[in-house]
Amino acid sequence: MTSPSNFDLHSPVHLVPSIGMQRAHLFERLGIRRAIDLLFHFPRTYQESSECQSILELKEGLLATVVGTIVDMDSRFSLEGRSSVGALLAVDGGGYVRCVWYNQPFRRENHSIGQRLLARGVIRSSGVAYQMRHPEVTVLEPGESPPPPRPRPVYPLTEGLSQRQVSWAIESILPLALDIEEALPSDLRSKAALLMKLDADLLPTIQDALLWIHQPKDMPEAQVARARFIFQELFVLQLALAMYRYACRHAAPAPSIPTNALIHSRILKRFPFDLTDDQKQVIETIRLDMASTIPMNRLLQGDVGTGKTAVAQYALLSAVANQYQAALMAPTELLARQHATKLKQQLADSRVMIELLVGSIPQAQKREILQRIAIGTVDIVVGTQALLSEHVEFAKLGVIVIDEQHRFGVEQRATLRTARTVPHYLVMTATPIPRTLALTLFGDLDVSTLKQRPPGQSVVKTYVVQPSQHQRWWNFVIKQIQTGRQAYVVVPRVDANDETETQGAVQWFETLRTGPLKELRVELLHGKMESESKQTILDQFANGEIDILVATTVIEVGIDVPNTSVMTIIDADRLGLAQLHQLRGRVGRGSYPGFVGLFPTQSKTIDPANKPNSNTTTASDSDPQSEEIQRLESFAKIHDGFELSQIDLRKRGPGDILGTKQTGLPEFIIADLARDEDVVMIAKEMAAELVEYDPTLTRPEHAKLLRQVVAKHGKSIAIGDVG
């Protein structure tokens, strides 16, 4: 099949030789819609080819390579209409191997007696001679030596496609790689190779890299080609973030909010505890940031219980002390209300005016609050995404604190920054984030980290509870309640799932309050409930009117009831380690030790009362050492959130590490954030250096690089206007 005369890299994939209309939909499943997509469908690994073997070295069932001369050809047909073509090879050095192809009659025309072939395939024994079914063959010219062994690419596939079909398609358009423009100047490729410590003076050109990654002559060549594409993918992203960051810092000035010694001491007196060294260090950094007219854009990440809220309050009160307004934005109304309540309690004896702005507030009250915000009689506004509304206008906004930033996404962060005013930004996350993910997801921000816990906090004891131990665990929960404590039961979903036969929070609530916990005050909380109902239940729980709160992961973030000492997590293996760690942080927050019981998923309907059921089997019973149980056992022993997040990144990928697929998180073709941390750091350093030298990439040598940055990330990172 030949290509049309006007065939190019942007032609639809069905025009590619060897694909056609019938097979095009299979390639589209792999995201390959145009010819150029084939070139960037990279191998996931390589198979090392072996040297040519003699007949004595061949073994049944193993891949082998032989060279020989065709001494016989035959064609066969079955009653079912199946055909085969066979070629008997006299292998160099003695012996025979029969090559056979089914339903490929063209083989009869392609091969003939006397032709020399290099054949590669899996050896099978037919009883008379060795056989290769559908071997890959190379025709050798008379006197030509066999080519040296070379790595063979192994591509990601989909059902209906074979490695050979994908290889043929890519091979047929490889000459078009010459038409792809080089975006990375040679000086950048040279510096990257040096910093990445490659055995090369510079990264290969795009044309060479495409050839080497698909048809390497050896593994070092394949590895340097992969290194080029990994670097390019990460470098282009870091460039986009660096350009956006530069634009944010220089677009408009922020108000200078200095914190003198008097203001500093007054704010610290508001805290009924001593700050940790980590908190003091971060506060000093924030003081410097907010005193500058360059907008602060800082991410504060910290492990559970390290005191991020106190740092956030410092930033809010610094603004208010300088006659500026402050805003605190939370991802849920539940958390926003909790923040507002705590602030009002802590500042009850002050003149600071605090208002809550959430969707469920009556319209008349909301209009009044908006008016007061606009004229400046409200000092601190606490709310949800309602704060992003065009109807919210601040008289003199100085700082915005965004809690659980990862739940908003990159584009919403850009929305905030396009507001009329340019305040300082402090964004927080209680989910410890591995460095590579933080540099990717929050690459436009400076990052501060809290790791120290306040003295006196005890480690929460965590247990994996097997089905045979369920009743014993519930007895322990009852004893905790009898000593005056409270408890959570967390269930990942609201309702039962018929496919997996697992129960939801609604079913567990009914079973527990009529079963093992029927003597206690049990209540239900989940995200589908009305806001007012959720708040009422949470208030009752905080006031000690409820013993056991059965809830979904809605309690994961920020819910703070110090009297709660025990948590049961149902189907714990369905949650990521970072999310489990967040949930674990909800207990043991007061002066009482905390306990967490992890219930692995059962393959049949869960029986919380542990009443024997002939249909009830569990993953752990059938395979006590299963990978998921081992993962939970590891979690029970590890209490460092950053270590857990790194494990999660390796096992579950970046999209799941935050408990939800992150909008704005780029999809990588070849880079891997868990594996390529060193390259992320190099790409970030080089991107920052380049943007400092050429902020909008307008120099002629960077024109092609700018086109690639805008095309790849212009929409998600809002850099389309830059250059």
Domain of residue 552, CATH code: 3.40.50.300
Strands (E), 430-507: 446-450, 461-464, 486-490
Q: What's the rounded Cα separation, in Å, for the pair 367 and 666?
A: 39
CA distances from 576 to 146, 440, 441, 632 (A): 51, 20, 18, 10
In-domain check, residue 610: yes
Decide if 265 is inside a domain: yes
Shared-domain flag, residues 543 and 505: yes
Distance CA 174, CA 232 (A): 20
Residue 1 in this model has a pLDDT that exceeds 70: no
DSSP string spanning 35-80? Answer: HHHHHT---SEEEPPPPP--GGG--TTSEEEEEEEEEEEEEEE-TT
Give pairs for 368-375: CB < 8 Å, separation 24+: 373/325
Q: What pLDDT band is residue 699 in, cutting at 50, 70 and 90?
A: very high
Q: How many domains does the chain have?
A: 3
Please name the residues in contact with 150: beta carbons below 8 A apart, sequence gap of 6 or more.
49, 215, 216, 217, 218
Which CATH number goes with the domain that contains 88? Answer: 2.40.50.140
With respect to residue 654, please indicate whether it lies within any of the assigned structural domains.
no
| Cα 410 from Cα 389, distance rounded (Å) | 17
CA atoms lying within 13 Å on the CB side of residue 141: 1
Query: Is 2 inside any structural domain?
Result: no
390 & 470 share domain? no
628 and 567 within one domain: yes
How far apart CA 563 and CA 540 sit, in angstroms, is 13
Average pLDDT for 477-491:
94
Better pLDDT: 529 or 610: 529
pLDDT reported for residue 103: 84
Residue 202 lies in a domain: no
| Same-domain status, 270 and 357 | yes
Are 327 and 381 a contacting pair, CB within 8 Å? yes
Give the closest residue to 451 by CA, choosing from 645, 658, 288: 645
Evaluate whether residue 208 is within a structural domain: no
Task: Give the per-residue pLDDT at 292.
Answer: 93
**Mean pLDDT of all residues belonging to the chain:** 85
Residue 212 has pLDDT above 60, yes or no: yes
* 530, 625: one domain: yes
Do 471 and 522 fall within a single domain? yes
pTM above 0.85, yes or no: no
Shared domain check, 397 and 536: no
Residue 274 phi/psi, 5-degree rounding, is -85, 140
List the helix and strand counts (H, then E) for the chain: 23, 21
Query: Is there a domain that residue 568 lies in?
Result: yes
Which of 109, 126, 149 lies at the terminal end of a domain, its last residue? 149
Q: 170 vs 17, 39, 176, 223, CA distance in Å?
A: 9, 6, 10, 19
Across the range 361-370, mean pLDDT stands at 91
Query: Within this chain, do residues 430 and 515 fall inside the same structural domain, yes or no?
Result: no
d(CA 151, CA 381): 62
Contact 511, 609 (CB under 8 A): yes
Q: Are 322 and 266 a contacting pair, CB within 8 Å?
A: no
Q: Name the band, by pLDDT with cuts 50, 70 and 90, for residue 73.
A: very high
Range from 173-177, 390-394, 615-619, 675-679 carrying the lowest mean pLDDT: 615-619
The token duo for 141 is 């010219």
**Is the distance from CB of 489 to CB of 550 less than 8 angstroms?**
yes
pLDDT digits (tens, 9 = 90+) for 425-448: 998 887 777 777 777 777 778 889
At 359 the pLDDT is 83
Least confident of 181-185, 231-235, 666-670: 666-670
Q: Mind listing the pLDDT tens digit for each residue in 267-298?
A: 998 888 889 999 999 999 999 999 999 999 89
Give Cα 59 distance to the centre of its chain: 44
Residue 617 lies in a domain: yes
Assess whether 590 and 609 both reside in one domain: yes
Whether 483 and 610 map to the same domain: the answer is: yes
pLDDT of residue 615: 38
Domain shared by 445 and 484, yes or no:
no
Q: Are residues 484 and 543 in the same domain?
A: yes
Q: Give the pLDDT confidence score for residue 67 in this predicted structure.
A: 94
Residue 129 sits in which domain range? 50-149
User: Which pLDDT does position 420 carry in this prediction?
Assistant: 52
For 191-204, the pLDDT digits (tens) are 999 999 998 899 99
